[in-house]
Amino acid sequence: MGLTSETTVYVMAAVAAICVALLVWLWPRLAKQGVWQVLGRLAAVGVAQVTIIAAFACWLNSSYQFFGSWGELFGNVDTAPVGVTQAGGNNDGGAITGVSVKGALIQPNGNEQLNRVSGLPTGNPAVNGRVESVKVIGRRTGVVDPAFVYLPPQYFQKAYHRQRFPVIVALSGYPGSIFNLAQYLRVSQTAGELQKSGQMQPTIMVMIRPTIAPPRDTECVNVPGGPQTETFLAKDLPDALKANYRVGHDATAWGVMGYSSGGTCALQLTMRNPHVYTTAGALSPDYKIKDDATTGNLFGSGLGRVNRINGHDLMWRLKHLPVPQVSVLVADSKHGEKGYPQTLAFIKAVKAPMRVVSILPDNGSHNFPTWVREMPATLKWMNQQLTFPQDVVPRHLPKPKPGHTTVRASGQEPSEAPTRRR
C-alpha cells in the first residue's frame, strides 16, 4: 500500500472515522471522576485527533506528492549500483519502440504516479509521443531520483531513428514532485500541444525534482560534506540522459526551467554551468540562495563559506564575475508576488554577452494557475534558443525547422529571435 495511493487515503479516513465513533461511544464510560477516567479521556481525544490529522496529511500528500514513498517520508533515500549501458530501440510497425534502460543509469520506475496524471499521450507513440516513468541514478553522487521523460512522436519515427533531439529539463519547487510538474504545471501536455501545432520543434522534456535528499531542501548547492545537488543536476543527469536517450551532446541543445525554487535552480545551473545548459526559464525565482529552516547549513563553515555564499548570489556574480554567454527568461507578477522588485533589478543587471527576456503580467500569485499561464510562452521562447542537434548519423537525414516565436521582453515589442548556432 503505497504512501500516495488512494487506498492509503481511504484506509486512513476509515481509521479516523472509527476512532471518532469509538470516542463518542466510550465518552459516557469515561465521564466518571478518577485518574484513570481522566487519562482515558485524554487518550481517546488524542488518538482521534492524531488519526484525523494523519488522514488529512495522507490526502494532502496524495494530491500534491510531497513524498512519493514511505522511505522518502522517513528520510531513507534509495541507492542503486552504478553501470552505464548504451540503450537501443527496435522496430515495431514502422515505429521505434523507445529505449531499453535496464541496467543503465536510467532505469524503469513504477507507474503509480504517472497513472494518476491526466492528459498524457496514449496510443501509438509515433503519432502521439510517450511519457516514461524512470529513475535517474547519479554515477558521481549515488543519488537516485524519480523522473518523467516526455519523448515526442518524431523520436519513434523511422525518419528520425538516427536523429538526436534538444532537451529541456523541468524542475519542481520545494517540496514539490514530478507529479506536480506533470499534473499541475502540465509540462509534457503543453509541450506536446505546442510541438503538434508547429510552435515548438520536437524536444525531449525531462521532469525531475531538485530535492534529492528529502525532506531537506538542498536547493542547487553542493553542500560541504552533504548532498551534491549541483553535481547531480549538472553532471549526473545529463550523462545519464546522453547514455540512454538520443539527446544532443552539445550544450546549445540543452535548457532548464522551473517554478519557485526550481526556477531559482534553473538560473543557478545555467549561469554557473554554461557548458551544460545555455538556456533557462525561471518562473517566480529568487536570485540568491540562503540558509533557512528547511535547508540547514548549505555552505559549510570556515574560510570558504563566504565564497560559496557569493557564488550562489546571482546579483553578486553579475557584478564581480565574467558574464556567461547564456539566455534566460524570468517571470514575475507586478501585483501578487513578492519578488517583482528583485526581478527588475536582475533584468537591469544583466549585460552582454548574456541575454535576458521577461514575462511580467500585471497580476498573479505564487501558484500553479499563474505558472500555467506563463508556460506556453516560456517553452516557445526556450525552444527557439536551442539548436536542433547537428550530430546526426547519417547526416543526410532531414532536419526539422525550429520555431521563431518569442515572448515580449520588458519594455520591448515581440520580435523574431534566430535559433542559436554553433
298 and 212 co-located in one domain: yes
316 and 171 co-located in one domain: yes
**For position 147, which CATH number holds?**
3.40.50.1820
Residue 48 lies inside a defined structural domain of this protein:
yes
Average pLDDT of adjacent 10-residue blocks, the chain of 422 residues: 74 90 85 81 88 84 58 50 30 36 75 89 94 94 94 95 94 92 95 94 96 91 95 97 94 97 97 97 96 93 93 97 96 92 96 95 91 95 90 48 37 35 37
Q: What is the pLDDT of residue 392?
A: 58
Give the angle 283-285-288 at the CA atoms, nearest 5°. 160
Residue 344 lies inside a defined structural domain of this protein:
yes
50 and 110 co-located in one domain: no
279 and 156 co-located in one domain: yes
Contact 35, 56 (CB under 8 A): no
Residue 91 lies inside a defined structural domain of this protein:
yes
38 and 140 co-located in one domain: no
Q: What is the pLDDT of residue 132?
A: 96
Q: What is the pLDDT of residue 68?
A: 54
Q: What is the pLDDT of residue 390?
A: 67
Please give the grid coordinates belonging to residue 389.
542537434
Q: What is the pLDDT of residue 400?
A: 42
Looking at the structure of the chain, the number of domains it has is: 2
157 and 252 co-located in one domain: yes
253 and 317 co-located in one domain: yes
Residue 75 lies inside a defined structural domain of this protein:
no
Secondary structure of residue 363 in the 3-state scheme: strand
Residue 410 lies inside a defined structural domain of this protein:
no
Residue 324 lies inside a defined structural domain of this protein:
yes
Among 146, 207, 210, residue whose Cα is nearest residue 4: 146
Q: Is 246 exposed, middle or buried (0-12, 13-18, 19+ CB in 10 A)?
A: buried
Q: What is the pLDDT of residue 79?
A: 38
52 and 110 co-located in one domain: no
56 and 179 co-located in one domain: no
Among 373, 366, 345, residue whose Cα is nearest residue 173: 366
Contact 243, 105 (CB under 8 A): yes
Residues constituting the chain = 422
Alpha-carbon distances, residue 414 vs 239, 309, 334, 357, 409 (angstroms)? 36, 36, 20, 10, 7
Domain residue limits at 33: 6-64
Residue 111 lies inside a defined structural domain of this protein:
yes
Q: What is the pLDDT of residue 71?
A: 59
Amino acid at 164: R
Please give the grid coordinates belonging to residue 252.
546549445
54 and 134 co-located in one domain: no
49 and 100 co-located in one domain: no
Distance between CA atoms of residues 252 and 274, nearest Å:
9
Distance between CA atoms of residues 380 and 197, nearest Å:
12
15 and 95 co-located in one domain: no
Residue 397 lies inside a defined structural domain of this protein:
no
